[in-house]
Amino acid sequence: MMRVLIALWLAMVAMSAAGAEQLGDPKEGQRVFKSQCSSCHMVGEGSRNRIGPHLNGVVGRAVASLDGVKYSKSLRRLGAEGLEWRLNTLDAYIADPKVFARGTRMNYRGLKNEEQRSDLLAYLQTYSANTVKMVQTNAPQEGTADVTMEEQGYSVAPDILAIVGDVEYGAYLASECLTCHKMDGTGDGIPSITNWPADDFVLAMHAYKDKVRPHPVMQMMAGRLNDEEIAALAAYFETLGN
Amino acid sequence: MKLNRRIFLGATAVSLAAPMVNAGGHGKPRVVVVGGGAGGATAARYIAKDSKGEIDVTLIEPSRTYYTCFFSNLYLGGFKTIDDIGHTYGNLASNHGVNVVHDWAVGVDRGQKTVTLAGGASVPYDKLILSPGIDFVEGSVPGWDLSAQNAMPHAYKAGSQTELLKAQIAAMPEGGTYVMVAPPNPYRCPPGPYERVSMVAHQLKANNPTAKIIIADPKPKFSKQGLFEEGWQNHYGGMIERIGPDFGGENVTVDPGAMTVNIDGEVIQADVCNVIPAMKAGRIAELAGVTDGSWAPVNAIDMSTKADPDVHVLGDASQQGDMPKSGFSANSQAKVCANAVRGALTGSRVFPAKFSNTCWSLIDTNDGVKVGATYEATDEKIAKIDGFVSQTGEDAALRKATYEESEGWYSGITADMFS
């Protein structure tokens, strides 16, 4: 039954994404990537898994197949069914992640604009192994990973990143976060913060504290946490759910 | 035995050398929580969850289904169903081992350290946490008392009162008049009456556009006033009239039989009259003898009462300083209290008190605003550190995101209370 449903639904996905085969402009796609994707994903040389998996070679990659990434059950199930990320499946996923995989941990509302999706896919394709030729001819700024905050010159001192967080203190401090952010990692309107790599968590919180990231509630909450407290929270949320 | 008279003022991130295990000669230390709302449910859940069975936690709450006051205005506006705001206590029992007792607490013997239930039982405690919410001050709106709450609902404790008010709004005659008698400070949920007016206006605009809303308000100003007034002008131009104290808004009497409201000598015939009287701590706090005037003064560091270090009061009923009376505040205070109570009873680490609050309000579809602040414990009170408020003139996308954020918060806080 499940297989029949998936097959049927893939057919629908394929139909709805028929236009995606005509790829858009990778330069435009890079802009879309920076504004929509890069706070969680890296692509290009030196990319690693951050809040989300790195996207080198994503076109053609089996769903939920990278080691060291905490995928949702929904995506793992699709991966186990043999689903691969191709242009049509990626197009459908990016258009509305929660329709594609209801329990996905990717907290993204979806990109409704078809042309922007097409541009984005063109950009991602340039970093996929089966399209090396395109990388050489079309890739904008080849070889640089896109990390929004780092590009803006935002970073924290290595000694701050090196602080080993006190997980028990983090659990207490986290109780304040859990009024809004859900422990089970789901969320609409309020993003998931569980299972983030500790460095990313520390970077994000300091960016709020320094008012580089723009949310008033988060600026206020982070503003009164010291370096040890941020490290404690990062340590706790990294382990949460494990 | 006075072992449990330990006060840990100033304790920050230290373990207590001699935890109060086996106080009173019984097995596990016992915590009794009265009231299963944002303060009580959170405190019971955190103490049970984090003590991993080391503390016996009993939660006393008369209702089997608890309807949150927060988001009950959205039910009035048609944005949520009554079931959306109803929650039960099954998970607290099955996931965390909380002993949930559906009964009224009718007395506290602080000498014997027991709570008496309406059903006759007596429940012993080592630490008592009262989170009873609010009751109304008798005579604060002359002509109104609890026997008039069907004719003139308060709808300020969510559930059947909220359903009644919604039915009355739906039954208003064409061009009818809705009167709200707004409460004096301090009261539960400062933006609540004004969000309610927004939600009633939203309903009337769709179904009864010539109807009027009159607010008789004893306060010269109110929470998020600029934001609400801008929104009322933009969405409901002309429908809402507020009569402040400068025009007699504090001089109000009602006649529930005749359905009239007398505002400073002017008699208004109301089709719906929503009377929100002056408030005080829920009655059990008074019965426990921990109130001073209308509210229960508490120590900011752990929410213990000034009257008794083994009795804590959370949320609306407490007099704590700068935090507004809100579900978010009660939930925040409950976590500080839970950490301190657990530390006192088991020797677990006690961390510095940190408090925060954010109140979202919906003015019309996808037009959400918010106000919030962070707080710390000082010797005198819970003191505000920093805050923010939405701005007038914000663009529609930000307002929509703010509303969606409030829905995320609702899902988060109710999971934090009941999961």
Instruction: Please tell me which of the candidates A168, A173, A180 has its beta carbon nearest to residue B412.
Output: A180
Cα B90 from Cα B97, distance rounded (Å): 10
Q: How confident is the model over A193-197, as a mean pLDDT?
A: 85
**Which residues lie below 8 Å from residue B128, measured CB to CB, with a gap of 6+?**
B31, B32, B34, B108, B113, B115, B288, B310, B311, B312
Confidence of residue B4 (pLDDT cuts 50, 70, 90): very low
From B335's Cα to the closest Cα of chain A, the distance in A is 7
DSSP reduced 3-state for B2: coil
Greater confidence, B202 or A199?
A: B202
Query: Which residue of A173, A176, A177, A179 is the best one to mutate when testing the B interface, meaning the one whose CB has the most B CBs within 10 A?
Result: A179
Can you give the pLDDT at residue A127? 87
Contact A188 B388 (CB under 8 A): no
Cβ–Cβ gap A172/B339 under 8 Å: yes
The predicted model gives B192-220 an average pLDDT of 97
- Domain A158-239 classified CATH 3.40.50.261? no
Question: Using beta carbons and an 8 Å cutoff, which residues of A are at the interface with B?
Answer: 168-169, 171-173, 175-176, 178-184, 187-190, 216-217, 219-221, 223-224
- For chain A, the average pLDDT equals 81
Task: Give the residue from A176, A174, A157 showing the smallest Cα distance to A166.
Answer: A174
CB-based contact (8 Å) between B52 and chain A?
no
- Long-range CB pairs of B243-248, under 8 A, 24+ apart, other chains included: B243/B214, B243/B215, B243/B216, B243/B217, B244/B217, B244/B219, B244/B220, B245/B217, B245/B218, B245/B219, B245/B220, B246/B220
> B125: Cβ–Cβ under 8 A, 6 or more apart, which residues?
B30, B31, B32, B58, B113, B114, B115, B310
Paired with B31 in beta bridges are: B57, B127
Answer for the pair B99, B81: CB distance below 8 angstroms, yes or no.
Answer: no
DSSP for B90-120 reads HHHHHHH--EEE-S-EEEEETTTTEEEETTS
Confidence band for B287, pLDDT divided at 50, 70 and 90: very high
ipTM given for this complex: 0.85
Strands across the sheet with B122-124, in order?
Answer: B105-109, B114-117, B122-124
pLDDT at A145: 40
Tokens 């998970």 sit at which residue? B91
Tell the burial category of B17 from Cβ atoms under 10 Å away from its Cβ (0-12, 13-18, 19+): exposed
CB contacts, 8 Å: B354 with chain A: 173, 176, 224
User: Which CATH superfamily does the domain covering A2-151 fall into?
Assistant: Cytochrome c-like domain (1.10.760.10)
Using the predicted structure, report yes or no on whether residue A14 has a pLDDT greater than 50: no
Contacts of A61 by beta carbon, 8 Å cutoff, 6+ apart:
A84, A85, A128
User: Can you give the pLDDT at residue A103?
Assistant: 81
Closest Cα in chain B to A225: B354
Give the span between the Cα atoms of B171 and B89, in whole angstroms: 34
Inter-chain touch A179–B415, beta carbons under 8 Å: no
The predicted pLDDT at position A5 comes to 55
* pLDDT of B112 over the 60 cut: yes
What percentage of chain A carries pLDDT values higher than 70? Answer: 80
Cα separation values, B188 from B56, B104, B270, B281, B318, Å? 31, 21, 25, 10, 11
CA separation for the pair B292, B280 (Å, rounded): 11
Task: Tell me whether B112 touches chain A (CB under 8 Å).
Answer: no
What CA–CA distance (Å, rounded) separates B368 from B361?
A: 6
Q: Which two tokens stand for residue A89?
A: 């499946």
Confidence check: pLDDT of B9 > 50: no
Q: Is the pLDDT of residue B36 over 90?
A: yes
Q: Chain B closest CA to A111's CA: distance in Å?
A: 15
- Looking at A92-101, A148-157, B338-347, which range is the least confident one? A148-157
Q: Which candidate, A69, A63, A73, A62, places its Cα nearest to that of A104?
A: A73
Which residues in chain A have their CB less than 8 angstroms from residue B388's CB?
216-217, 219-220
Which residues from B are below 8 Å from A241, CB to CB?
none
pLDDT, chain B, mean: 94
Q: Taking 70 as the threshold, does the pLDDT of residue B125 lie above it? A: yes
CB of A1 closer than 8 Å to CB of A11: no
What is the least distance, in Å, from the CA of A35 to any CA of chain B?
Answer: 16
Distance (Å, whole) CA A59 – CA A20? 13
pLDDT of A15 strictly over 80: no
Q: Sort out which chain B residues have CB atoms less than 8 A from A169's CB and list them.
A: 13, 349, 351
* A-B contacts (CB, under 8 Å): 87
pLDDT of the residue at B25: 54
Residue A56 to residue A128: CA distance in whole angstroms: 6
- Reported as a pLDDT band with limits 50, 70 and 90, residue A7 is low
CB contact under 8 A, A187 and B386: no
Contact B126, B54 (CB under 8 A): no
Closest-CA residue to A203 (of A195, A213, A194): A213
The answer to whether A224 contacts B385, with C-beta atoms less than 8 Å apart, is yes
Angstrom CA distances, B201 to A174, B113, B166, stand at 38, 49, 12
pLDDT of residue A143: 34
Query: What six digits make up the tokens of A8?
Result: 């049927």
**Cβ-defined contact of B335 to A175 (cutoff 8 Å):** yes
Average pLDDT on A220-227 reads: 95
**Domain definitions of chain A by residue range:** 2-151, 158-239
Per residue, the 3-state secondary structure of B275-315, as one string, reads: ECCCEEECHHHHHCCCCECCEEEECCCCCEECCCCCEEECH
Q: What is the pLDDT of residues A24-77, one digit of tens each?
A: 899 999 999 998 998 889 998 888 888 889 999 898 899 999 988 888 888 988
* Torsions phi, psi for B360 (to 5 deg): -95, 145
Give the domains, in start order, of chain B with CATH numbers: 3-135+279-352 (3.50.50.60), 151-275 (3.50.50.60)
pLDDT one-digit tens code per residue, B141-197? 999 999 999 999 999 999 999 999 999 999 999 999 999 999 999 999 999 999 999
Structure tokens of B194? 């004004």
Q: For residue B330, what is the nearest residue in chain A, using CA coordinates?
A: A179
pLDDT at position A197 is: 84
CB under 8 Å to B56, separation ≥6 — which residues? B27, B28, B29, B30, B31, B99
Task: Please enumerate in sequence order all residues whose Cβ is within 8 A of that of A227, keeping only pairs 6 or more positions apart, or say none.
Answer: A160, A163
Question: Buried (b) or exposed (e) across B51-90, using 16+ Cβ within 10 A?
Answer: beebbbbbbbbeeeebbbbbbbbbbbbebbebebbbbebe
Given pLDDT bands bounded at 50, 70 and 90, which one contains residue A153? low
Mean pLDDT of A113-142: 66
Where residue B395 falls (left for φ over 0; alpha for ψ -120 to 50; beta otherwise) is beta
Other CB atoms within 10 A of residue B265 CB: 7
CB–CB contact B404 A217 (8 Å): no
Residue at B235: amino acid letter: H
| B406 to A189: CB separation less than 8 angstroms, yes or no | yes
pLDDT at B24 over 70: no
How far apart CA B276 and CA B375 sit, in angstroms, is 28
Contact B216, B179 (CB under 8 A): yes
